[in-house]
Structure 1
Amino acid sequence: MKYDCLIIDDELDIAKTSAEYFEMFGIKTAYVTEYEEGLRFFDTNEVSLLILDINLNERSGFEFCKTIRSKSDIPILFISARDSEGDVLTGLNIGGDDYIVKPFTLNILLAKAKAMLKRYQTYRSKEEKTDSPLPPHIKIDYNYRQVSVNGEVVKFKNQEFRLLTYLIRNCNRVISKEELFEKVWEDAYVSDVTLNVHIRRIREKIEPDPKNPEYIKTIWGVGYVFEVKV
């Protein structure tokens, strides 16, 4: 069966209430409260968005994320009462797309879910091609949504691909963080930490020396620019 969203949270009231609220707005949503139950759900259903708590009784949402990410590129939104930067970075670095701290309002959670589902639907359709110049060691196949670096295909998550191609389409122009949130994430509630982690991941995949980027430059206090010599 196909679902827009699966919520995995060991707090039954939160999981059930959130799912019912999503259903009111036309988002087909299921919920489970156990780690193994979540794995079984994925084995028998198709899901477009996962909302995942970090604490799942004796198990870890981080571990669950890594398991799902090994076989699926669906967007994953972490929800947790743990608000340390270390937890946020861990969630993003292991494959999460965003992170929201409890307590949160249902309308904020709904807005994030809608934005992530919209991005995923865009990701599954063809990306608009671009004639923007590229560094010679980078090739992009927009039909297959593949990035090759030095002749080798490098795996990009859907949001990384969107961010990279947006920067490339606007190469040699400084792009503000606000513009990236609006045009790439389509979500006003994205944090700077989320953007910074995605930029770092892309640099690690395309830059000869990620610590001294040659292409994706930080413009402090403003945003980023993808520099290419024309």
Structure 2
Amino acid sequence: MADKILVVDDDPVLCELISAYLKNDGFDVVVASSGQQALHLLSTATYDLLLLDVVLPDTDGNQLAQQMRTLTNIPILFISTRDSEVDKAIGLGVGGDDYLTKPLSRIELVARIKAHLRRYRQIQTKPFDSVSTSVGPIRIDISQRRIWIHDKEVTLTTREFNLLRVFTQNPGQVLTKEQLFELVWGDEFFDDNTLMVAVRRLRSKIESNPTEPKLIETVWGVGYRLSLKKSC
């Protein structure tokens, strides 16, 4: 069965072009021209990946992505004419998995979609040695994809959950930025800023004081590690 892509953009010419690109590579494509239509489609059918414009006629794409994250954990790829580092950081921070700037390259668009679908499936089907793990104040239930910090449950996005899962599987070990990106994102399109944003978002949810993190420690010039200190 072909992978089903939901394209959310109010530019009919661009949507027709993207549809042609993707259908030529065997994807099934559905188009929504507004945020409201996209939410309706997402709540009534199953999709494998979302292409989401940042500027829509009835809503802001970043806000829409946050709403979508309550409905699905599939990859969300932003497409936008906005190309500043701040815009990209915001998009990735609200739950986006990637950020592509217009005009879109057919080769890059298809390659990134395939990479994200491949990585998503690997994460969904990856076997685990155990379904439940406890490291310090962190308790993680793999089968139910739930997290508790000091016995208080916290809600994480798919990306944040997968990032914390990698840390709990390697407690106390220094993980390089490249290792983390390969384990959580795949190594096709390494982006240091993407990783920093993801770590910052994770810390905001699990640290008692995110500005002075005690759980996810920065190892300057190398990467990060999950602390084993009892005081955490």
TM interval, short-chain normalised: 0.7 to 0.9
Counterpart position of 1:78: 78
Q: For residue 112 of structure 2, give the secondary structure of its aligned residue in structure 1.
A: helix
In the TM superposition, what are the counterparts of 1:54-133 in structure 2 within 5 Å? Answer: 54-57=54-57, 59-125=59-125, 128-129=128-129
Q: Which residue of 2 aligns with 1:153?
A: 153
Cα gap change, 1:78 to 1:187, in 2 (>3 Å): farther
Could you tell me which amino acid in structure 1 is paired with residue 93 of structure 2? N
Distance 2:152 2:176 in 1: 31
Using the aligned pairs only, state the percent identity: 36
Gaps of 5+ in 1: none
Counterpart of 1:194, as a letter, is: T
1:226 aligns with 2:226: yes
User: What letter is aligned with 1:30?
Assistant: V
Shift of 1:92: 2.3
How far off is 1:134 after superposition? 4.5
Equivalent position of 2:217 in the other structure: 217
Q: What code does the residue aligned with 1:227 have?
A: S
> Would you say 1:50 and 2:50 are equivalent positions?
yes
Q: CA deviation at 1:135?
A: 3.7
* Other structure's SS at 1:79 match: strand
Whether the aligned pair in 2 keeps the contact of 1:81 and 1:103 (CA below 8 Å) is yes
Aligned to 2:7: 7
Alpha-carbon distance in structure 1 between the residues aligned to 2:75 and 2:165: 18
Secondary structure of the corresponding residue to residue 29 of structure 1? strand
- What runs of 5+ residues in structure 2 fail to find an aligned partner? none
Map Cα deviations across residues 43-86 of structure 1 (whole Å, 9 max, x no partner). Answer: 43211211101112353212322322233222211111111222
Alignment root-mean-square deviation, CA: 2.7
Q: TM-score, normalised by structure 1?
A: 0.86
CA distance in 1, matches of 2:46, 2:6: 10
How far residue 154 of structure 1 moved from its aligned partner, in angstroms, is 1.1
Which range moves more in the overlay, 31-40 or 138-147? 31-40
The amino acid that maps onto 1:228 is L
CA deviations on 1:163-208 (whole Å, 9 max, x unpaired) are: 1111222232222222222221014224222111110122122223
Q: 2 CA distance for matches of 1:52 and 1:58?
A: 13
What is the CA distance between 1:126 and its match in structure 2? 6.0
* 8 Å CA contact 2:135, 2:171 repeated in 1: no
Give, in angstroms, the shift of residue 98 of structure 1: 2.2
Is the CA contact (8 Å cut-off) linking 1:51 and 1:79 kept in structure 2? yes
* Aligned residue number for residue 17 of structure 1: 17
Q: Aligned equivalents of 1:132 and 1:140: distance in 2?
A: 6
1:63 maps to amino acid: Q
Give the alignment's TM-score, normalised by structure 2: 0.85
Report the more deviating stretch, 151-160 or 90-99. 90-99
Contact map agreement 1:141 1:147 (CA 8 A) in 2:
yes
What count of residue pairs does the alignment treat as equivalent? Answer: 230
Q: 1:41 aligns to what SS in structure 2?
A: helix
